[in-house]
Structure 1
């Protein structure tokens, strides 16, 4: 299969895309066939993705499966799942990138744990979790409506920053409208798939155990050996699994999760930056401020001021 050969040949070099590299905003991005960014090989990304195909025929290689894509087909991709959709010369499509906190603002879980969440708690996840065993196809009239929803999202994504709050709400309403259409047509199949245990388990159990260990011990000193013991594998094997499954080293995962937790606390609590730095494992305030600025691009105080002043307290960057 084309994916197998390519993935096998470049497995060590699989690209990890971030929202900052592939989206107009920190929480959302949308492109079409005229301005899509290249993805010529199997890759993965740290965000959710929806591929809305209006015209053309191609194939979606995902999770060891192949799903055909034709006019009126929607394809859904979980974070960190290696996949590949070859674009066709005559294709008309939209690619939507969404952060976890924007899609699921009330779900306080790591992206690696989403396969264990009941559909009743997060119905938005259903098409992402069952993409490997279902094809989401719509007729011509429905496809035109889906295309219009994408165009509206694209228009709002281009609004100036002063319109960010309104655009944030409108984009999310269009996005949920799209997912709602999938639920209306495939809700029975979703429930059947869940009852039959067909949820795609994207990550090795040891990786999930490691992520939980990191998340539960952010304020403590975290070393690979202790995480490996909690994950029931050797340190060498865990390091290999993490790099293979996420594209990141243990230290990179720890730092990433500490930064994400710090951003959440900065926006949603009144704790001081020093208190937040200590509770997320950065220790000295100067070290926290320096690492935060290196990774996020602003100081913790500036980050808090930016989001609290804009009133954007329904999502985290």
Structure 2
């Protein structure tokens, strides 16, 4: 998947270059499936939704789902990080289920995919196909730090979601008013994620997180693995790295200060772990952002 703005990423594929999709799976990014030819089924949230020509399907992060590809099908699969889709919403993906749609209407189709079919007529389907082709062209031909390209891709992406709202908005609002939100993540998992996010500078243990989540440590470990596919330690490390990347990119704090505030401790440990996971040193990562910012201002 192309990383188009460091922590924000976007990727789009079609039937010619999409990876095989043989089994139910989950991923940490949002996904949109635009079908233009062929019929299949979307298995999501314990439900089955039909996919026909002109169907657009939406998938929340970490939600187990499955769309079998058909031999003669034509489709686009769009993968988007939370930072790319909702750059101004400073929340963890696990907290998005509690955000009112009035604050983030982009989430509407994702939240209610389990109970709605987003179907379009032939003329609208042609336009959806055109939007996907424009996004693919920008993604393939422009560098990942191209501001104009990223803005154009987001405009096409929001255009697509806006079309869903225009045709199906009344149904989405009715689902929200009737409380038909899909409970994608168990409350214990949400409490654990909040506890981790709010205490990154401290020493974090599974036992303390379990107490804050109102479950046993054994049960929490099982819930985290079943809901996210990750262990407690993997989630802690991931959140610490993401916080460190944000501080490196957008503050003047020293690497030593950032290492302490994100729970990595000594500067050498922070630098070593950061390089293991990100592939560059903290200072090299910061310089990448400074260089991109300088080029943007010059252009």
TM-score for both structures, normalised by structure 2: 0.95
The Cα offsets for residues 157-188 of structure 1, whole Å up to 9 and x where unpaired, read as 11242772221111111101101111111111
Q: Is the 8 A contact 2:3 2:144 kept in 1?
A: no
Contact 1:206-1:233 within 8 A present in 2 as well: yes
Provide structure 2 residue ranges, at least 5 long, that are not aligned to the other structure: none
Match 1:228 to one of 206, 210, 218: 210
User: Could you tell me which residue of structure 1 aligns to residue 224 of structure 2?
Assistant: 242
Residue of structure 1 in register with 2:101 after alignment = 119
Q: Give a deviation string over 1:99-132, Cα, whole Å, max 9, x none.
A: 1101011111111111100001111100000101
Secondary structure, in 3 states, of the residue corresponding to 1:44? coil
Which of 162, 173, 178 is equivalent to 1:180?
A: 162
> What does residue 51 of structure 2 align with?
69
Superposition pairs of residues 137-148 of structure 1, within 5 angstroms = 137-148=119-130
List aligned pairs for 1:1-317, cutoff 5 A. 22-23=1-2, 25=4, 27-161=9-143, 164-311=146-293
- Unaligned regions of 5+ residues in structure 1, if any? 1-21
For residue 50 of structure 1, give the secondary structure of its aligned residue in structure 2. strand
Matches of 2:21 and 2:150, distance apart in 1: 27
Aligned residues: 292
Q: State the secondary structure of the residue aligned to 1:120.
A: coil
* Secondary structure of residue in 1 paired with 2:197: helix
Taking structure 1 as reference, are residues 59 and 262 closer, same or farther at Cα in structure 2, changes over 3 Å only? same
- SS of residue matched to 2:258: helix
CA contact (8 A) 2:145 2:292 kept: no
Q: Is the 8 A contact 1:24 1:157 kept in 2?
A: no
Question: Partner of 1:158: helix, strand, or coil?
Answer: helix
- State the SS of the aligned residue for 1:161: coil
Q: Provide the aligned C-alpha RMSD in A.
A: 1.5
Q: Is the 8 A contact 1:228 1:238 kept in 2?
A: yes
Distance 2:226 2:39 in 1: 31
Deviation, 1:191, is 1.3
Q: Distance in 1 between matches of 2:132 and 2:274?
A: 34
